Amino acid sequence: MDKLAIIGGRALYGEIPISGAKNSALKLMAASLLTDAPLTLSNVPRLADVDMLLRLLEQHGAAHAFENSTLTLQAKDIVSTEAPYDLVRKMRATFNVLGPLLAREGKAKVSLPGGCAIGARPVDLHLKALAAMGADIDLDEGYVIAQAPDGLKGADISLPFVSVGATEHTMLAATLAKGETTIENAAREPEIADLADCLNAMGAQIEGAGTSTIRIDGVDRLGGASHRVLPDRIETGAYAMAVGATGGELTLKGATAELLGAAWAALEEVGLYLEETDGGVRVKKTGARLKTIDIVTQPFPGFPTDLQAQFMALMATAEGAATIKETIFENRFMHAPELSRMGANISVDGQTATVRGVARLKGAPVMATDLRASMSLVIAALAAEGQTMVNRVYHLDRGFERLEEKLQRCGALIERVKE
């Protein structure tokens, strides 16, 4: 398994191109199963998760061409409505093929998903929504077997709590249902509006995406479209925090300020200078030590759970004490003991971590435990004294495109060690 060797203590200067959002690209790719026409997506990041989903889509019958960052998918015929365990277990977003297959073919058999080890992460809301749209759903030996031989029907769905995945999955399935579907308490993450824009370009009738009530008027068929994936707000926030940890100045090319939601305000409050420019976002950290602030993770536009780990790394060397409350996932502090190995002072009590800033972190061998946690270790390592070896880099390859290259170009001493 590859490792990253990082020698800390160098400020970052230069420009980092921000890739298309992984979390959006994956759902947009699943949308290709809804039509026999080509769907062309630009600004698609080349990531292990994208490749994994491509393999799954291929076995359903979707051909693809991927050049630079433009991906064209075409599922002329669905040759299999079954998504096997081996292709679904590693990544939760693969589960999103269920709705499109069911909507287009009237049946699907999809393995229950795996993904990052950050809590139980059930899919009950996804299944309840599909059942409300008339699907007959059985669970058998780890598989969901869903049938709707006469097609899906529009339904009123009220989510008991905000779920990005369930909102997107319901939207995908409802595009081809008969009649109107409403989703109440829908997630408002920017990736939801991105998916709706693409589906509407394919001929769907979706209104209200980006608000907590989404209305989808089902249509008989969808066609092809071209769509540009929105910039990755989590990658943007992570590199901004890297500057916060090391000092320096970066231009995050292609990034959009409004996508950062509450994270933008939090970064300003701790003492980073952020500015929206023509082509992206400029972030700067001058000499002074950062301040600590308390944060609570929330659905968008609140502070994103996907930046919580990175923020903890940032707070590890800030002045004072910060509490970080995780409200979205029940087991998302696995980076805390790893950061502590580097000298951070962190105590965890249930869903709240208290970070007392220390003057300096020290390099150490650490273990990446999930995608975003891995990035928090990279940020800590860039700021630490001496060498850090980050093990299990495959987590990073799932979600951060060309990480070492992007950082090396800005002066970081970071290298992949192949094993």
Catalytic residues: 116
Q: Is 397 in the site for ligand UD1 (CB under 6 A)?
A: no
Q: Whose Cβ is closer to ligand UD1: residue 26's or residue 381's?
A: 26
Residue in 6, 30, 125, 274 binding ligand UD1, rule: CB under 6 A: 125
Which residue bears the tokens 């064209």?
72
- For residue 54, the number of C-alpha atoms closer than 13 Å in the C-beta half-sphere is 17
In whole angstroms, what is the distance from residue 15 CA to residue 46 CA?
Answer: 19
Span near ligand UD1 by CB under 6 A; candidates 124-132, 173-181, 287-295, 387-395: 124-132
Maximal CA-CA distance, the chain? 65
For 362-399, b/e burial (b = at least 16 CB within 10 A) is bbbebbbbbbbbbbbbbbbbbbbeeebbbbbbebbbbb
Q: Which parts of 70-210 are beta strand (E)?
A: 70-74, 82-83, 107-111, 136-140, 143-147, 156-158, 180-184, 205-207
For ligand UD1, which is the closer residue by CB, 224 or 302? 302
Q: Give Cα separations from 215 to 62, 93, 155, 319, 323 (angstroms).
A: 28, 23, 10, 47, 38
Rounded least distance, CB 319 to ligand UD1, Å: 29
Q: Which residues contact 251 (CB under 8 A, 6 or more apart)?
A: 14, 15, 16, 277, 279, 280, 281, 282
- DSSP of 254-278: T--GGGGTHHHHHHHHHT-EEEE-S
Q: Which of 305, 310, 317, 388 binds ligand UD1 (CB under 6 A)?
A: 305
Can residue 123 be called a binding residue for ligand UD1 (CB under 6 A)?
yes
Least distance CB 178 / ligand UD1 (angstroms): 24
Decide if residue 380 touches ligand UD1 (CB under 6 A): no
Residues 326-365 contacting ligand UD1, CB under 6 A: 328-329
Least distance (Å) between residue 379 CB and ligand UD1? 18
Judged by CB under 6 A, does residue 374 bind ligand UD1? Answer: no
| Number of residues lying near ligand UD1 (CB under 6 A) | 20
CB nearer to ligand UD1: pick between 126 and 282: 126
Q: Which residues, 6 or more positions from 413, have their beta carbon under 8 angstroms from its beta carbon?
A: 6, 7, 8, 10
**Given 164, 242, 255, 412, the residue binding ligand UD1 (CB under 6 A):** 164
Residue placing its CB nearer to ligand UD1 in the complex, 53 or 315: 53
Stretch that binds ligand UD1, among 115-123, 254-262, 340-348, 405-413 (CB under 6 A): 115-123
Binding to ligand UD1, residues 310-329 (CB under 6 A):
328-329
Q: Which is nearer to ligand UD1, 122 or 279 (CB)?
A: 122
The answer to whether 97 and 57 are in contact (CB under 8 A) is yes
By beta carbon distance, the residue nearest ligand UD1 is 165
- If the CB atoms of residues 29 and 361 are measured against ligand UD1, the closer one turns out to be 29
By rule CB under 6 A, what string of x and - marks binding of each residue 2-41 to ligand UD1? ---------------------x--x---------------
For residue 372, the minimal CB distance to ligand UD1 (Å) is 8
Binder of ligand UD1 out of 117, 122, 226, 277 (CB under 6 A) = 122
The rounded distance, in Å, linking the Cα atoms of 136 and 102 is 10
Cβ proximity to ligand UD1, 299 vs 357, nearer residue = 299
Binding status of residue 160 toward ligand UD1 by CB under 6 A:
no
293 binds ligand UD1 (CB under 6 A): no
Other C-beta atoms lying within 10 Å of the C-beta of residue 5: 16
Closest CA to 370 of 345, 399, 350: 399
Q: State the DSSP string of 401-417.
A: TTHHHHHHTTT-EEEEE
Closest among 257, 304, 301 to 282, alpha carbons compared: 257
263 contributes a contact to ligand UD1 by CB under 6 A: no
Residues near ligand UD1 (CB under 6 A) = 23, 26, 92-93, 119-126, 163-166, 305-306, 328-329
